Every structure is written in C-alpha cells, then in structure tokens.
Structure 1
C-alpha cells in the first residue's frame, strides 16, 4: 500500500503552497489572529522538513497538529491558518504511513494503530464524569458534559465505525467550567484520535 505519484505530488503541494507567500487573510479591529512571523517561520520550516529525506525530517504530523502561535492584533485569521495546518498534517501523515508500511509492513502498522485505538477506547469507555482527571474546584477546565458527549461519539466511531471525520475532531471546542476536565488530558486524547484516523487513512 503506497502513495501514487499523483498523491505524493498533491501532498507536497499541500505543504509547499502554504509556506512561500503565506496567503492568509488578516484580522481587523479588535479581533486577534495568529502572529504572522511565527506562522511564516513554522510553515517555512515545515516545507524544508517535507522536502528533506523522510528519515531525517525534523517535523512530524504530530508536530504540525500541536503547533501553536501567539494571538495578536492584525494577525492571520485563525480559521484559515488552522485549515492549512490540517492539510499539511495530512500530507506529513500520509508520508509517515507510506514509510512505515515500506519498513515494517502493513501488519505491524495496523497492529500499532489498533493498540493505540484500544488505549483510547479504554479511556473513553469509563463512566461519564470520570473519563479524565478534573482540575481543582476553583480552577477552570473543559465542561464535563460537553467532553462526555464527544467521547460517546468517538467510542461509537471506534467500536462500530460510526461516521466521523478528522476535520470534525480537529474542530472540537469546549466551553469552560470550574472543576472541569483537565484540558491537557482531553487534548492529548483528541490528538491520539486524529493520529489513529490518519494512520488508517
């Protein structure tokens, strides 16, 4: 299972077309956006990494997924940059999948993805309200009921193949509440879900 030349070219375009000119709209007024220089630097670095030998690449799909930028006035529109990062992450993930398949074989790659999916499922199958560690009663975390609703949908996806897209997982957002779920734990699991979905292809 390898990428065709056409697919590989499309993946390269996804990375390369974003970095040279950074064609993103800017925010106006009091609305904040991503710091332009930080975005431009990251995209240039991502392009260099994608053009390098995959064995020596300094950027992975996980790095793209976790990229964060300062929010400033007159920055790049957040939605536009996030959409571009999603495409770039897909390109890196496809290349990583191809390399892993060629080195370890399909059975090992599928086995690794299955193990990660089982870890996620074990976590999300816990009782509602107890799926993640909660922050202290005076601190803010993700709203428990909203996270649990998303967790139920992800369990259905992993157990029965209920339709859900990578983009839907990437775009998930939660309101905050005192004593809510710890953000870092929830975000880490969502990152792992995206990893599994991209690994499966």
Structure 2
C-alpha cells in the first residue's frame, strides 16, 4: 500500500490512452461546488458547465467518468436555474421562453435536408451532413411530437468529419439550445 492514501474522484487512464487533466478537473469541480453551494466561485450556469473543456494528458481522468459527472452537475445547475426563473418570472414566462427557444430550434431543423446549417468551404472539414441531418430529424420529432430522446443522447452525439460539411460551431450551438430546452422543461 502506498503512503499516498488520497482517493481520486475518477479512475485514471492507463497505457497510451489520454484522459482529462486531473488538476483542471479538480479545480473546476471545486469551483462548481463553491458556486452551487454558496456562490463564492462566482455565478456559474448550466451552460458554463456544458461548455467547459479540459486538456488531455497521459494518465488523466477517464473521459467517460468525468463526462457523466459533468452531465449530473449541469443537470443540478439547470434545475436550480429553472427554480429561480420560476420564482422570479413565473411559470408562464419560463414556459414561454422555453417554447420560443424550442420553436427557433425547430424552425432551423425544419429546413430542407443538406441546407439546415451553414457549410464550410470544400477545403475545410466540417460535420458530416448526412449524420447531422439524421440527428436533426430525431430532434425535430422530439420537439414536434415528443418522440423519446434524452439529454444524455444529445450531449453525447458525435459526428464524423467531411470536407465541405456543416459548420461545427453552428451545429454545436443548436445542440446546446436543444439541451437548454430539455433541461428547462425538466
């Protein structure tokens, strides 16, 4: 048994597999805890949690374990934001705001296939158009008719790359908006 009896919050990667930088993850988790519990780390939002990225290093924390925890943290911040908004603005305004955002997303996703997002030049790499369109159709069905879709499925969607594909920033922004709507309605 080693003298260092520190219990790590996440398993470490082994071999050549990289993981998230433990120091960055630990610092973020401490700041998130302070922000959530007493606000001393500044106002952190669910969107801030969703956009957080960590450097990859050898012998880092396993990505899947950290990502799962980050999802739970985002959910907790979103629930708190929903409660605050409901108490400040009222249920009608909160629902109206969520409905407007959902309609903006649905309007975007209702565009013709292969034209839903801006395309990058043929010399640059973007998300595969056909894969994004499949996910867009699934999200549209969720928004229109309540077809089963979870926040975790949207969080973990991944697309292969293609030259002249969809602009990553634009697609990611819409996926973030979908997550925001899903978390807003609980």
TM category (shorter chain) comes to: over 0.9
- Cα 1:22–1:135 shift into 2, 3 Å: farther
Listed as ranges, the gaps of 5+ residues in structure 1 are: 1-19
- SS at 1:177 equivalent: strand
Is the counterpart of residue 131 in structure 1 residue 124 in structure 2? no
CA distance in 2, matches of 1:137, 1:189: 22
- Of residues 74, 79, 90, the one that matches 1:105 is 90
Is the counterpart of residue 45 in structure 1 residue 31 in structure 2? yes
- Cα distance per residue 1:52-90 (max 9 Å; x no partner): 259x94210000011101111111110000000000000
Q: TM-score by structure 2 length? A: 0.94
CA distance in 2, matches of 1:22, 1:136: 44
What's the counterpart of residue 64 of structure 2? 79
What's the counterpart of residue 157 of structure 2? 172
CA distance in 2, matches of 1:53, 1:136: 44
What's the counterpart of residue 29 of structure 1? 15
- SS at 1:148 equivalent: helix
Aligned length: 181
- SS at 2:121 equivalent: coil
- Cα 1:153–1:169 shift into 2, 3 Å: same
- Of residues 155, 165, 185, the one that matches 2:140 is 155
Listed as ranges, the gaps of 5+ residues in structure 2 are: 1-5
Is the counterpart of residue 115 in structure 1 residue 94 in structure 2? no
* Coordinate RMSD, CA, aligned: 1.6
CA distance in 2, matches of 1:35, 1:135: 31
CA distance in 1, matches of 2:178, 2:7: 31
CA distance in 2, matches of 1:34, 1:87: 17
Is the counterpart of residue 189 in structure 1 residue 174 in structure 2? yes
Q: TM-score by structure 1 length? A: 0.87
- Cα 1:22–1:92 shift into 2, 3 Å: farther
- SS at 1:76 equivalent: coil
Per-residue deviation, 1:22: 5.0
CA distance in 2, matches of 1:192, 1:52: 27
Per-residue deviation, 1:119: 0.5
Runs of 4+ in 1 over 3 A off after TM superposition: none
- Of residues 54, 58, 61, the one that matches 2:43 is 58
- Of residues 114, 130, 140, the one that matches 1:145 is 130
